[in-house]
Amino acid sequence: MTHADDRERAVLLGALDSARAHVLAQVERMSDADLRRTAAPSGWTPLGLVRHLTLSDERFWFETVVAGGSLDWWPTATPGDTLDPDWSVPHGARPADVIEEYRAAIRRSDAIIASMTLDDAPRRPEPGWHEAGRFLDLRSIVTHVIVETSTHAGQLDVARELLDGGQHLVL
């Protein structure tokens, strides 16, 4: 690996770590009740957003797509659910456990990322990605997860301000 490769990896992982830390800092400042409340007409909650980041971003992109793992862990929809199952928090789940599942998924993702080069192709790409020139390597997938996590961090900022008045200044 060249110095430029090391620098690119450091920049990408720094941005990813920053977005993840932003999400965690916001939810760790919220009460359990506010984590379960919604501020959006679609009905998602801050805790549901953390579950979505755990399943759809960390686990799907890194464990399944990049590392080639199975998708047998994906939750199934429950009749009457108004949200996709990755946004739904199981009844009785403790907020601390949902947040710890996110932290654990991040640790697994980081280990997968560390074991590969940025040029490595995903082991389980979706049909059509190659022809479309999408998600051809770890670099493009990390970039995608940075965008996804940062977008959801912004949504969480607005939800938090509406729910408990908490504000986060991004510098």
Residue owning tokens 């999400």: 23
Q: What is the mean pLDDT of residues 71-78?
A: 91
Among 86, 89, 2, CA closest to 38: 89
Gap between the Cα atoms of 106 and 123, Å rounded: 19
Query: Domains in the chain and their CATH numbers?
Result: 3-164 (1.20.120.450)
Its pTM stands at 0.93
28-39 pLDDT, tens per residue?
999 999 999 999
99-126 pLDDT, tens per residue?
999 999 999 999 999 999 999 999 999 8
With bands split at pLDDT 50, 70 and 90, how would you rate the model's confidence at 77?
Answer: confident
Residue owning tokens 């980081």: 110
pLDDT of 3 over the 90 cut:
no
Residue 94's alpha-carbon distances to 23, 33, 143, in angstroms, are 17, 11, 31
With bands split at pLDDT 50, 70 and 90, how would you rate the model's confidence at 1?
Answer: low
Residue 121's alpha-carbon distances to 4, 87, 95, 161, in angstroms, are 19, 28, 35, 40
